[in-house]
Chain A
Amino acid sequence: MGSVNVPGGKVDAALSGASGQGLTGSLGTDLSGSMGSFSGGVTVGPNGNVNGNAMGSVNVPGGTVDASLSGASGQGLTGSFGTDLSGSAGSLTAGVTVGPGGSFSGSGSGSVNLPGGGSLSGSVSSNGQGSIGANIGGVNLNVGLGGGSGYRLRFRITGWFRNEYRIGKRVRVWYTSVNADVSTNVNRRTKRLETTDAKHGSNQRCINNSEAVPKDEKPEYNWTDVTEEFVAASRDLHLGELYHDSMFGLFEAMSAIEMMDPKMDAGMLCNQIQRKVLNFEQAVEAGDVKINNLSHSELIGVMDASMACLVTWLEGHSLAQTVFTNLYLHNPYVIEDRSLKAFSICMLKIVDHIRDRVNRAGVFEEEDFQSMTYGFKMADQVTDIRATGMLKEVEDDMNRILKITRSKPGEDRDQQTEIEHEQTNAVYCRLKFYRLFFTMLLAFNKEKCEGIEQAQKLILQLLDLLPVINNTVHMGIVPDDKEVGKNDYPTIMGFEPLVNQRLLPPTFPRYTVIRSRGEALYHIEGLLHRLQMVTTVPQMTSFQTILEAFKEFSKYSPCVLSRSILQLTFLPQNKRVFGKTSMVDFLKDAARGFAAPPVLYQKSPLYNNAQIKGYVDAWFMQAVRPFSNLIHITGHNRARQRDKWGQVLEEMSTLQEEGDKVDAYIHGILIKQEPSRSHMACLSGWVLYHTIQAMIQYVLAGFELELYADFEYHYIYWYLYEMLYPWLINALHRADNFLLDHETMADNQQKGRSNKKNRKKKRTRTLNKEITLAQAEQSMFGGYYKAVTGFRLDGKMKPPNFRFDKEDVRYTHRFHPFTSVSTPPCVQYLQYKDMSDMNRYEAEASALNLYAASCKCFQQAKQIYESMIVHTDEANSKELNALLKVAKTNLIVMRLLMDGHKKESDVSCYCGIACYSRTLPSATMDVFYIIMHLSSPTTLKTRPSIAIFCLKMMISMLFETMIIRNFGDRSSDLHNGKKYTFPISF
């Protein structure tokens, strides 16, 4: 089953084979949309084997999945269940059954994501080994084990869950609320161990702040000290010998965390703190934490510190170590101070809302965002309206005080009143800020983007409040000046960094450094500006502009919250574009804009052909997923995008092939009616364009992530210059012809009515701009490619002495994702070698010739950019100017090289960068430009490391040679890019 899309339906699929045969196949199902159910099974007879994914990927928000993989004796099963039940409550049952002597490898459920509660049960039964990995938030996990022995279970558990562990009739139940990797070996001996456990009934654990689960009931132990015996016994082992069970080996041992190693043992450090850590109730009782009569400066301090915690959380740290170091948030209901209570509740609401948004958008990875709540309550008894209402009430009170203390004409205020007025104002602004902030977040969540305008206004108000808050940060109480430890740091009243130490996951410790209050506000300001950008998105109409805008947005490395809100604004929960248009209609519009497929126009005779309509609609349905993915990818953090661009190619390629078939069918019919027109590769051409764009993104992301070694540049540039850009230009040309066809058609139809002048009118829609831009970029990459090849011939860039890898291994690896795409075909290494062979074209390829050719390419790019700048508006010309500058400077270097300046060089160096450093500083700078060829200045901004490096190099060169050429303007360029300073040391 290639792919099934059944919103709100039911799928039942089975793949079964008789004895002695092999099955290879995959069941991939997308049940997105609404509640659906899926059950798929793979059954293989004896001696058969299954290879592949039983369920490639199943997406069932709010549905049920039932899948099983079973085989008879003597066979091997390999498969994986990958299931994403994100969204709401769902359940998954996956079973793998293997007969005696068979083996199962792979994971029972590759990754299961059930954030909204639900239940998961999986089973592995075999005589071999199997493992089930599941990631569950607040759900039940049942793992049933059939007969036999020798299993290894591995769970990754997050959140609350009831764990049931069954062997035959014996059941063991325990509760955990951890983020843990639990791995258990089950074999004959442990079975006996379980028997003992079963005697104790259940073995339950829970964390302190939940009433729902029964309290501690540990098994009783009867400890006997065996230290001496153990030491003596272990002496019997040989050096290097590990004494272990047959089921436990070096591999397992590797995944153990090492105690007492500060890099791995988080508990070691918190244990070193000698002072007593109090929880909220204890602290209130002890009088350490006030819940009433807080002074203004205390309020300001608590609020600002909370903000700092919130920001730190948004930067990827865990809630327990950030927001919930604030004791007030553990139970805001007992706070008597009204302002603080309202603030605390609102803070919880904000945290909960953000968590929900980010979870839904799903554009985060573990390094971006920690969504675990550790069982903390998020003030869910209070409605959103009540929460803002509470803040409004205290705000009004504050306002009254403000009016009293305000300076009136002709009356001298005493200093006391003046200070009180200022402080009250500071508290007032903060309360207002949090209320508006929460309202603003809620506004983004309104249906059909109806809240966007309101959000826009709120953002402006919030930005007005920020300076006031910034200027009053100093009024808040500050922590004592104490020694700062890695885990423990001094805080103000109400904050306890160590209160949640027991909730730390058993991973290696991550030190959470809470942001300073000033930094937090700076972050929030940035967030507000980014959200301001988000509000402009709903005005965009075409897929193309939106995709471009999203890519542009991503270049600023936005935070996870703004990325999530952007994604949800475009495609909210109902999966309609901006909550209004269906994705299918939106994509049809996009296709019309790109190549004007005749089949999508009412005037075309094809439009009403029922069969064609059926095919086209089905194809567009299929296109929804990959195209939503394109948008989704841009929402991920910069580092993750490369992988995702690579992954999306397979889907795009399938869609393209399907599109080809649809096109061919339509073409067959169209040619009979209108012999002059064509439909070949019309729909698929549109997909091809986006596929190539994704490929280019993939390759360019490698530059940004600094993945390529300099000796790899030549084939990377070659691929862009000779493969991707020519294909892109070709795809654009074809599409442009379709657009032209369409306009001539429309003109012809109008001819009766219109006069002659109209015939000469300028084309309204054309892809000329895209084509020229692509041509310019191709020329640039051609220039780089030829320059780098020249360096290589010249011996300036030496290929390393490969010891463990070869160039073709690297090459194959670099372009590996492209193998899944059929058009454009992936160029294999040998093909590349063949195609890029210099001797094929010229009798003698010399470095000088190559520099000349490179020169020509940059010249071409320069001309194109210059001509484009004339026709573009202000906003775009900035980027074009930057590109032009790169082209120009590179042109100059290549000219210098062509004229033979290199001969003065006596230093051969490890790469093109430094090869002219002794003799020709300006040329070196320009070679920098070549290497940092990535076109836009924003890239420069995002890569301070390179910029710093370049600047340092330049300065050291200048120091050596005392030649100041071209330095001023370019260094200032780098300076403008980023606000940083670096120590200049010689």
Chain B
Amino acid sequence: MRGTDENDENWYLTNKNQFTARQEADSATESEGKKKLSKWLNKSMKIQMTDGRTLIGVFLCTDRDRNVILGSCEEYLRPPGTGEKEEPRMLGLAMIPGHHIVSISVDKSQQEAQDVA
């Protein structure tokens, strides 16, 4: 995503008005996909990366190429729950490039809590 960051910014600057207009239109007729994303936003998310590490953090942001930004992110060398317990490393805010993502999981317990509320 870093490569496109600059483009993003330019895109923002040049198409700001257009963008806002489209966003407004979007929110009126929000697509199925976006609804799903908004459901997951700010929830715990577990992402496995191509090199075998697992990251757990709060889902904050994504884009078309499913580059994901997790907040308060923790890094596990092995998937949690398998074998011996492992100390996570605190990463904070982390961006995982889409092509390095193997699998994504969300926390169902939170989902339920939200549904109840």
Given A184-B71, A242-B63, A245-B42, decide whether A252 and B95 contact each other with a Cβ distance below 8 A: no
Contact flags A443-480 to B (C-beta < 8 A → 1, else 0): 00000000000000000000000000000000000000
Distance from B83 Cβ to chain A, minimum over Cβ atoms (Å)? 13
Q: How many residues of B contact A (CB 8 A)?
A: 71
Contact partner of A257 (CB less than 8 A), chosen from B5, B91, B103, is B91
What residue of chain A has the Cβ atom nearest to residue B103's Cβ?
Answer: A227
Q: Is the CB of B92 within 8 A of A183?
A: yes
**Of all chain A residues, which has the CB nearest B15?**
A240
Q: Is the CB of A256 within 8 A of B46?
A: no
A280 to B41, CA, bound (A): 42
Contact A236 B32 (CB under 8 A): yes
Stretch in A94-102, A217-225, A380-388 touching the partner? A217-225
Known contacts being A243-B63, A254-B5, is A193 close to B43, with CB within 8 Å? yes
Which of B41, B55, B88 is A189 in contact with, Cβ under 8 Å? B41
Contacts of B92 in A (CB 8 A): 180-183, 257, 506
CA distance A225 to B40 in the complex (A): 12
- Are A234 and B52 interface neighbours, CB within 8 A? no
User: Cβ of B93 and Cβ of A189 under 8 Å apart?
Assistant: no
Mask of B83-99 contacts with A, CB within 8 angstroms, 1/0? 00101111111111110
* Distance of B106 from chain A, by nearest CB (Å): 5
Point out the residues of chain B lying under 8 angstroms from A185, CB to CB: 42, 60, 71
CB of B49 within 8 A of CB of A235, answer: no
Asked whether A243 and B62 contact (CB < 8 A) given A233-B36, A236-B32, the answer is: yes
Specify which chain A residues have a CB less than 8 angstroms from the CB of B17 in the assembled complex: none
Q: Which of A220, A243, A259, A271 contacts B96 (CB 8 A)?
A: A259
Residue from B46, B91, B110 within 8 A of A193 (CB atoms): B110
CB of B82 within 8 Å of the partner chain:
no
User: Are A234 and B95 in touch, CB under 8 angstroms?
Assistant: no
Asked if residues A506 and B91 are in contact (CB atoms below 8 Å), the reply is yes
Taking a contact as CB atoms closer than 8 A, the residue among A180, A220, A234, A248 that contacts B109 in the complex is A220
Min CB–CB distance A328 → chain B (angstroms): 22
Residues of chain B lying within 8 A (CB to CB) of residue A503: 89
Asked if residues A225 and B90 are in contact (CB atoms below 8 Å), the reply is: no
Interface residues of B in 39-76 (CB under 8 A from A): 40-44, 46, 49-53, 55-56, 58, 60-66, 69, 71-72, 75
What residues of chain A lie closer than 8 Å to B53, measured between beta carbons? 267, 271
Given A231-B66, A234-B33, A506-B89, A195:B113 Cβ within 8 A: yes
- CB distance A224 to B8 under 8 Å? no
Q: Knowing A208-B87, A502-B89, A506-B90, say if A241 contacts B63 (CB, 8 Å).
A: yes
Contact call A226/B33, Cβ cutoff below 8 A: no
Q: How far is the CA of A241 from the CA of B61 in the complex (A)?
A: 10
A180: contacting residue among B90, B111, B113, CB under 8 A: B90
Which residue of chain B has the shortest Cβ distance to A244 in the bound complex? B61
Whether the Cβ atoms of B75 and A267 lie closer than 8 Å is yes
The answer to whether B77 and A233 touch across the interface, beta carbons within 8 angstroms, is no
Instruction: Choose from B34, B43, B85, B101 the contact partner of A233 (Cβ within 8 Å).
Output: B34
**A709 contact set on B, CB distance < 8 A:** none
Besides A221-B44, A237-B63, 12 new A-B residue pairs in contact (Cβ under 8 A), listed by A number = A184-B72, A196-B110, A221-B46, A226-B106, A231-B66, A234-B62, A234-B65, A235-B64, A253-B5, A253-B69, A268-B51, A502-B87
Closest 9 CB pairs of A and B: A236-B33, A233-B33, A244-B61, A223-B105, A222-B108, A256-B95, A256-B93, A234-B66, A222-B109
- Report B's interface with A, CB cutoff 8 A: 1-2, 4-5, 7-9, 11-12, 22, 31-34, 36-37, 40-44, 46, 49-53, 55-56, 58, 60-66, 69, 71-72, 75, 77, 80, 85, 87-98, 100-111, 113-114, 117
17 contacts between A and B (CB under 8 A): A183-B72, A185-B60, A195-B113, A196-B109, A207-B87, A216-B85, A221-B107, A223-B108, A227-B101, A233-B33, A233-B36, A234-B37, A236-B31, A237-B33, A257-B94, A258-B94, A506-B89
